[in-house]
Structure formats: structure tokens, C-alpha cells
Amino acid sequence: LDKLRQSAEAIRTTKDETVSLGVIPIFANSVMPEAVNDLRSVRHGLSLNTSVRNTPEIVDSVLFQQLDLGVI
């Protein structure tokens, strides 16, 4: 939970950087477009790199710090 809080805080305070997200397929076209638009409307300089992956790949990528955040 501490790591999640730290990641959320880093994303919240990041300026002019890229945040990499891993997203499961079910959320890629349903939840994420609106969430990304909302985030970009308040964080104009933030660039998001979103990739669609399955749950094990997202978990591994977050653990190995290849992704900043996983949405499962």
C-alpha cells in the first residue's frame, strides 16, 4: 500500500513527464479513455503511455518498474 501511495503521489505531482500505464483489455476501451481525458484536463504537461496487457504481465511490469501503474 505504501508503494501504491508513493506511485499515486508521484503521478499527481509529476510535471512534463511521461507516466506509463498497463491496462487490462476490459478497461482499455471502457474506463480508461474518460479517465485519461480527465487526468489530461488537470495535468496539461503530463504524457501518458498506455499499453493493454493481461493481469500477470501488468503485475510483473509494475514489480520490475517497467510500468508506473497498473489498472487491473
- Residues 17 and 11: their CA atoms lie apart, in Å, by 9
Q: Quote the cell numbers at residue 3.
A: 508503494
Neighbours of 67 (CB within 10 A): 24
What does the pLDDT look like over 25-68, one tens digit per residue?
A: 999 999 888 988 888 787 777 888 999 999 999 999 999 989 98
- Residues 51 and 25: their CA atoms lie apart, in Å, by 9
**pTM assigned to the model:** 0.72
